[in-house]
C-alpha cells in the first residue's frame, strides 16, 4: 500500500446519462461509448503508476461488476451515491482517508491525455499545501488533492458551472487552507474538446489511449 492514492470519479457509461453535451452530433449510444473509452484509457494510464494506488469511486453502486471487469487487480472500488459531485467527492475522500492513505488525489475520468507529470506535481505540492487543484480550462478543476478531509470544500459549490474553481478556492480561504494549482488541462465535454484530443493523439505514442483511438477509428467526428 502506497501513502498516496489516485481515485477516478467514474460513472457507468449509460446512453443518455454520460457525455450528454456531445449529443448531438454523437448519438447517445456513441457518447456513452466515448465515455467508456476515455474512462478505460484513464484507468490504463494510472494503473502504470508505481508511487500511487488506484481507486475508483463508482456510480451508480449497482454497476460494481462492470467496474471490476475493466479495472486491474488490486483496484479499490468505492460504491458511492450522492445528490451532486460534492457529495460523491466527500464520500470518496472520507473512505480513502479511513483506509489509511496520507494523500488522496481525485481525478476526473474524461481527460486521459493528462500529462502524468501533473499528477506527480500535485503529489509533491501536497507536501507543502493543504489543498491542490488542477485548473480546468472551463472554470472547474480536473483534480483535487488533500491530506485530510475538508468537507467544506464540497459544500456551497455551483457544480458544472465556470464558478467551481473560484468557489472552491473561496471555501479554502474561509477555512484557512493553503492552496496550490497545477497547470491547466481540459476535459472532453464538447465536440471541440474531442477534436482537440483527436489532434493531440497524432503527437502521442501509438500505444497510448488505445480505447479512444479505436473509438475514433469507428466513429466519424465532424
Per residue in 139-178, pLDDT (tens digit) is: 999 999 999 999 999 999 999 999 999 999 999 999 999 9
The neighbouring-strand residues paired with 146 are 104, 131
Average pLDDT over every residue of 181-197: 96
pLDDT at position 128: 97
Average pLDDT over every residue of 31-36: 97
pLDDT at position 222: 78
- Measure the CA–CA gap between 125 and 120, rounded to whole angstroms: 9
Average pLDDT over every residue of 111-122: 96
The neighbouring-strand residues paired with 5 are 53, 104
- Measure the CA–CA gap between 7 and 43, rounded to whole angstroms: 10
pLDDT at position 83: 86
pLDDT at position 139: 95
pTM: 0.96
Q: Write down the mean pLDDT value for the chain.
A: 96
Per residue in 57-103, pLDDT (tens digit) is: 999 999 999 999 999 999 999 999 888 999 999 999 999 999 999 99
The neighbouring-strand residues paired with 106 are 7, 144
The conformation of residue 205, written as its DSSP 8-state character, comes to -
Give CA separation, 118 vs 36, 115, 160, in Å: 23, 6, 22
pLDDT at position 75: 97
Residue with cell 469507428: 218
Average pLDDT over every residue of 116-140: 96
- Measure the CA–CA gap between 210 and 175, rounded to whole angstroms: 42
What is the SS3 assignment for 28? helix
- What is the pairing mode between strands 103-107 and 53-59? unpaired
Q: Nine-digit cell at 29?
A: 449510444
Average pLDDT over every residue of 196-211: 96
What homologous superfamily is domain 4-218 in, according to CATH?
Spore Coat Polysaccharide Biosynthesis Protein SpsA; Chain A (3.90.550.10)
- Measure the CA–CA gap between 130 and 44, rounded to whole angstroms: 28
Amino acid at each position: 500500500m502506497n501513502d498516496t492514492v489516485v481515485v477516478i470519479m467514474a460513472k457507468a457509461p449509460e446512453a443518455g446519462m454520460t457525455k450528454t453535451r456531445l449529443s448531438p452530433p454523437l448519438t447517445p449510444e456513441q457518447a456513452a461509448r466515448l465515455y467508456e473509452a476515455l474512462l478505460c484509457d484513464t484507468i490504463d494510464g494510472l494503473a502504470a503508476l508505481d508511487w500511487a494506488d488506484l481507486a475508483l469511486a463508482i456510480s451508480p453502486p449497482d454497476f460494481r461488476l462492470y467496474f471490476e471487469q475493466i479495472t486491474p487487480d488490486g483496484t479499490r472500488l468505492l460504491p458511492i451515491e450522492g445528490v451532486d459531485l460534492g457529495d460523491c467527492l466527500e464520500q470518496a475522500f472520507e473512505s480513502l482517508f479511513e483506509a489509511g492513505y496520507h494523500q488522496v488525489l481525485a481525478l476526473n475520468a474524461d481527460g486521459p491525455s493528462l500529462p502524468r507529470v501533473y499528477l506527480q506535481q500535485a503529489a509533491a505540492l501536497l507536501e507543502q499545501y493543504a489543498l491542490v487543484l488542477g485548473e480546468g480550462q472551463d472554470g472547474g478543476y480536473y483534480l483535487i488533492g488533500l491530506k485530510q478531509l475538508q468537507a467544506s470544500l464540497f459544500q456551497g459549490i455551483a457544480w458544472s458551472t465556470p464558478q467551481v474553481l473560484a468557489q472552491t478556492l473561496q471555501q479554502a480561504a474561509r477555512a484557512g487552507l493553503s492552496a496550490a494549482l497545477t497547470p491547466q488541462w481540459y476535459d472532453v465535454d464538447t465536440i471541440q474538446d474531442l477534436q482537440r484530443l483527436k489532434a493531440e493523439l497524432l503527437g502521442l505514442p501509438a500505444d497510448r489511449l488505445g480505447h479512444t483511438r479505436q473509438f475514433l477509428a469507428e466513429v466519424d467526428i465532424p
